[in-house]
Amino acid sequence: MVCVCNATYCDTMDPVSIPDVGSFVKYESTRAGGRLERSEGVIHPSTSGSGLRYTYNPFVHYQRIKGFGGSLTDAAAINIMRLSTEAQDHLLRSYFSEEGIEYNLLRLPMACSDFSTRAYSYADQCVNDYDLKCFSLAYEDTELRIPLLHRFMATTKRHLSLIGSPWSAPGWLRTNNQVMGKARLKGEPGDIHHKTWARYFVRFLDEYARHNVTFWAVTAQNEPSSSVFIPMKNFPMTQFSPETQRDFIILDLGPALAASRHKDVLLIIHDDQRIHLPNWANVVIGNSSAAKYVAGIGIHWYLDSVTPPKLTLEATYLLYPNFFLLYTESCNGFRIWEPRVDLGSWERGVRYSQNILTNLNSFIVGWIDWNLVLDMEGGPNYVKNHVDSPIIVNPLRDEFYKQPMFYHLAHFSKFIPEGSIRVALTSNFEITSCQLHSSGFLRPDKVAVVVVLNKCSWDVDFSIADDQLGYIEDIAPAQSIQTYLWKRR
């Protein structure tokens, strides 16, 4: 199941409209080929009382939702620019406009990532340039990503919150004297190397601000423990332990951001696999001197299958409820035994929505996909670390393909805007042959939202009870995902 888009055609959606009180609207996608199909139904005053029943309770509040989005890597920007202007416009509207899925979060690497065509930093021109006199943005920023950012912002009606994440420092600041490869910063937190690296963050924010692009947050380091898991010798990474990240924040990065004109930019720690939680949080924000600079914890999904959310996310939330949990990177096709790009894979869409639902129910405030766009091989990527993406570009045909992952993400990003609250959605615990996955929300406009995923190969009858209005009675078709919305009095 893919939608083939080109210069003259791409599927679109009408702006979301909610029927009057007493009715509901449903958007449904199915393995059989349905893509966000809209229908309406009536909320009944009573029900038969049999079958699986959910109870929606808007008076029990959990976390406030920040949003959903993807990452504008060099690879994503390159692939978008390979299309004709008309096809580009369709792609941008697919992600950011009211006729698309209305992303409101966007992550950007600070200089190169593995999804670049080369290893580079913004301070490669001069060695030992501790005053960063030679600092300058790269071609990939000024000619590709920044122009696209302006177009994204012009396309969306929602506020677009940007997050900057560094992969590697300039080589002369690193123990291997290269931008790429396994290395840490020279010296120790508090010294000239770490203070220069902290100033590098401020300069990055300064230079983007000159181009009228401002950031909501930065992460202290992308995957600081990645050297443990990533075998590629030329991967761009900078190693931090939780202790060195804590001290770097206390002595260098926290004060540098606080003293700059970007003092309102939030700082996110960790930005790594949840297997490290809650220990990483205990070390960093368990220290009050570091905690005063920190707003949240970033998480990647790659080891989720071996790390229960209750022991990681929920445990961290209970310890530190004032610090948000945000998924900052996820993708399919990263396992060495699976295809990098698997066009039309419904299973990969299900993997996304199940992960999002599970983690929303474990207190995350948002979920960011990895590359917005990749090519038919899952690149470009100078490390050859190719993966899949919700949208795949075929420049030879001036086409792009919207995969099931795209539509699964839409069931959240389109209908659960920033400021929504996760609320209680409980079931009657009836034992059925198919366990549905679900979560409930209350939007800022007081519209109720419930997302339901059916992974099974058969239909499931169920109902949603709203004590104020009555019952939604419906069927979750085999291999489907639904988003329900209704007005409350």
Catalytic residue check, 140: no
Last residue within a domain, chosen from 363, 386, 413: 413
The whole-number pLDDT of residue 227 equals 67
**Active-site residue among 140, 329, 399, 418?**
329
**Active-site residue among 28, 102, 140, 223?**
223
pTM reported for the whole predicted model = 0.97
Domains: count for the chain: 2
Last residue within a domain, chosen from 413, 444, 461: 413
Q: What CATH number has the domain bearing residue 314?
A: 3.20.20.80
Supply the range of the domain harboring residue 37: 3-63+420-487
Q: Are residues 365 and 227 in the same domain?
A: yes
Q: Are residues 210 and 145 in the same domain?
A: yes
Q: Are residues 104 and 48 in the same domain?
A: no
Q: Are residues 385 and 435 in the same domain?
A: no
Catalytic residue check, 430: no
Q: Are residues 282 and 326 in the same domain?
A: yes
Q: Are residues 74 and 102 in the same domain?
A: yes
Chain center to CA of 407: 15
The pLDDT tens digits along the chain (489 residues) read 799 999 999 999 999 999 999 999 999 999 999 999 999 999 999 877 667 899 999 999 999 999 999 999 999 999 999 999 999 999 999 999 999 999 999 999 999 999 999 999 999 999 999 999 999 999 999 999 999 999 999 999 999 999 999 999 999 999 999 999 999 999 999 999 999 999 999 999 999 999 999 999 999 999 999 866 777 789 999 999 999 999 999 999 999 999 999 999 999 999 999 999 999 999 999 999 999 999 999 999 999 999 999 999 999 999 999 999 999 999 999 998 999 999 999 999 999 999 999 999 999 999 999 999 999 999 999 999 999 999 999 999 999 999 999 999 999 999 999 999 999 999 986 666 678 999 999 999 999 999 999 999 999 999 999 999 999 999 999 999 999 999 998
Q: Are residues 54 and 103 in the same domain?
A: no
Rg (alpha carbons) of the chain, rounded to whole number? 23
Last residue within a domain, chosen from 356, 378, 413: 413
Q: Are residues 175 and 119 in the same domain?
A: yes
Q: What CATH number has the domain bearing residue 474?
A: 2.60.40.1180
